[in-house]
Amino acid sequence: MLPFKLVYSEKYFLPIGDHVFRADKYRLIRERLMNEGWADESDFVAPSPASEGDILLVHSPHYVNKLMEGSLSAREELQMEIPYSPQVVDTFMLHTGGSILAAEHALSDGICVNVGGGFHHAFPDHGEGFCMMHDVAVAIRKMQKRGLIQRAMTVDCDVHQGNGTAAIFSGANARLGTLPSASPVAVSGSAKMLAGTSKDVFTISLHQENNYPLLKPPSSIDVNLPDGCSDEEYLAWLDNALSSGLRQFEPQLLCYVAGADPFFEDQLGGLNLSMEGLKARDELVFRVARAREIPVMVTFAGGYATRVEDTVAIHCNTIVAAAEVHRAGA
Ligand SMILES: [Zn+2]
């Protein structure tokens, strides 16, 4: 039995046909957790779909109407890169409800994992990059609206920049400059860390610079990593970004977007992280949060390994890492 809950529904499967985004990964993650004896039936809680009112905490009425009525233009559907259907809308509402439930459990239990979600490319007025609704942003806004938190931090370790997150939470006065931070290892290529300002939500994104999205709206901290970035470089930059972020901001909830796509065999990523490096990444995030007693909610975001089993293993390892850090204390 795990020391925290896993939010999951068999209806997390996205009916998008034959796609690089393997929507069966959620079911495969659950199966592997059970088969390996890492989780049992009692660890799982089922989400309810988010309401339209919840979605409107982040998304524009005009966009939500289009989703509900099925009146997206052909260009808008192309930009989303997944086919529109009312069933797909329902599935995103369920993942979003899952992230809301995960935030609630994180605040009461210290940590919770949504075995889904992490749709960080959704903007208030449009979807893109396989993301229709920004579940993490909705969960944060809902916790704030209910007065459970005032301040949240997103730590986005998907290989692609969290452009939707950055756009949703950008302060009006974002100011860019190179952060005066020394990396403990030599970083090759163009890796750099940029710092802006933020109000109630502080956004950190570590991503491959030379990858989608082409336009990267500024996060509070963006770490633009060079192609082929290694485990060692990545972990040093993550450590650096977390330290810098937590010096500037005291979150009451940390939303970890644990993308599996920095993996060296990912079809849509160009970083060079190993399976072990990715688990060390997870452990670092959980240890830092645990040491500061910051509740953590986890979402899974992308993962497009050549072999789907690798994507599944990386996501399962995130849960194993959370359990190890949680059981060990700080
Ligand atoms: Zn991604």
Q: What is the pLDDT of residues 130-146, one digit of tens each?
A: 999 999 999 999 999 99
Q: What is the pLDDT of residues 68-127, one digit of tens each?
A: 999 999 999 999 999 999 999 999 999 999 999 999 999 999 999 999 999 999 999 999
How far does the centroid of ligand 1 lie from the alpha carbon of residue 25, in Å? Answer: 14
How far does the centroid of ligand 1 lie from the alpha carbon of residue 140, in Å? Answer: 20
* Summary mean pLDDT of the chain: 92
> What percent of the chain shows pLDDT beyond 70?
91
Residue 35's pLDDT is 97
Comparing 21 with 190, the larger pLDDT belongs to: 21
pTM of this structure: 0.93
> What percent of the chain shows pLDDT beyond 90?
88
How far does the centroid of ligand 1 lie from the alpha carbon of residue 257, in Å? Answer: 10
Tokens of 148: 């459970």
How far does the centroid of ligand 1 lie from the alpha carbon of residue 259, in Å? Answer: 6
pLDDT grade for 179, boundaries at 50, 70 and 90: very low
* Range 146-152 contact pairs with CB under 8 angstroms and sequence separation of 24 or more: 148/104, 148/107, 149/107, 149/252, 149/253, 150/200, 150/252, 151/200, 151/201, 151/202, 151/249, 151/250, 151/251, 151/252, 151/253, 152/200, 152/201, 152/202, 152/251, 152/252, 152/253, 152/254, 152/255
Is 177's pLDDT higher than 50? Answer: no
Q: Which of 62-71, 84-93, 165-174, 192-201 has the lowest mean pLDDT?
A: 192-201
Residue 33's pLDDT is 98
Average pLDDT over residues 16-42: 95
How far does the centroid of ligand 1 lie from the alpha carbon of residue 261, in Å? Answer: 6
How far does the centroid of ligand 1 lie from the alpha carbon of residue 315, in Å? Answer: 13
Residue 194's pLDDT is 58
Is 216's pLDDT higher than 80? Answer: yes
129/79 Cα distance (integer angstroms): 7
How far does the centroid of ligand 1 lie from the alpha carbon of residue 148, in Å? Answer: 29
Is 173's pLDDT higher than 50? Answer: no
